[in-house]
Amino acid sequence: MNRLCLILFGPPGSGKGTQAKILRQSFGLAHISTGDMLRERITTRDELGRQLARIMQAGALVSDEMVNRLVEERIDQPDAKAGFILDGYPRTVSQAELLTGLLKGRNIPALVVHLKVDYNVIVNRLSGRRQCPTCNTLYNLSASSPSSGSAVCSLDGSTLVIREDDRPGVVLERLKAYERQTEPVLEFFASVGMPCWDVDGASGAPQAIASGIEDAIRQFRGKSGAVGGEK
């Protein structure tokens, strides 16, 4: 029985993490965020963690070898047996080539969802974003949620912090790195015949955007035979 691999593609701040959380609940898929995996490693403060911290604070990309290894281990975990959502991976053609091989070897069909958002919108989004250091919940100071103007997390009361990779100077470097290394990945996906669904990531509320993605997933599953227990 085939699993489903949903690849959420788009620049930093395009809403991949938000959409992944909604779609995870809808289809029972594991949410695999390479960014979260890397940040968790940084908190260990070992030698590798310190190296990762320096790379991410500078807005650079972590080596393909390291990210590939983390992803390969993660997709074989028990919670990903029904399928998974890749959030922030692949970011380079080299990573995309490896992923294609991993999916083919495991007979896992994949659908790419490309969230398209203007860069000016992204800079505004990320400059107002804060994160809970305890539960990793994200907030935006310009949003209308009850905690948007608060300095504490509504779930556990922890003081919200600015992620190092959300600082304006770092955001610009991340967008440059995206243009240079990640946009060619879409061309690679097209060359190998991987289906891609373009979505306006700034066209409405997150739930409304997710509804359109959910329709695309249902159509794709019907054609490919992929599964992933819809809830």
Q: pLDDT value at position 194? A: 94
Contact 23, 80 (CB under 8 A): no
* Band of pLDDT at residue 142, cut at 50, 70 and 90: low
Q: What are phi and psi of 199, to 5 degrees?
A: -130, 135
Contact 30, 135 (CB under 8 A): no
* Band of pLDDT at residue 19, cut at 50, 70 and 90: very high
Question: Which pTM was predicted?
Answer: 0.74
Q: pLDDT value at position 144? A: 41
Q: Which residues contact 124 (CB under 8 A, 6 or more apart)?
A: 142
Active site residues: 16, 91, 129, 163, 174
- Alpha-carbon distance of 48 to 3, in angstroms, equals 32
**Mean pLDDT, residues 91-112:** 93
Q: pLDDT value at position 224? A: 66
Report the candidate in 166, 168, 128, 165 with the shortest Cα–Cα distance to residue 145.
128
DSSP E strand boundaries for 99-180: 110-116, 129-131, 138-140
Q: What are phi and psi of 129, to 5 degrees?
A: -85, 140
CA atoms within a 13 Å half-sphere pointing along the CA-CB vector of 48: 10
In the predicted model, is pLDDT for residue 67 greater than 90?
A: no
Which structural domains are found in the chain, ordered by start? 4-118+182-224 (3.40.50.300)
Q: What amino acid is encoded at 224 in this protein?
A: S
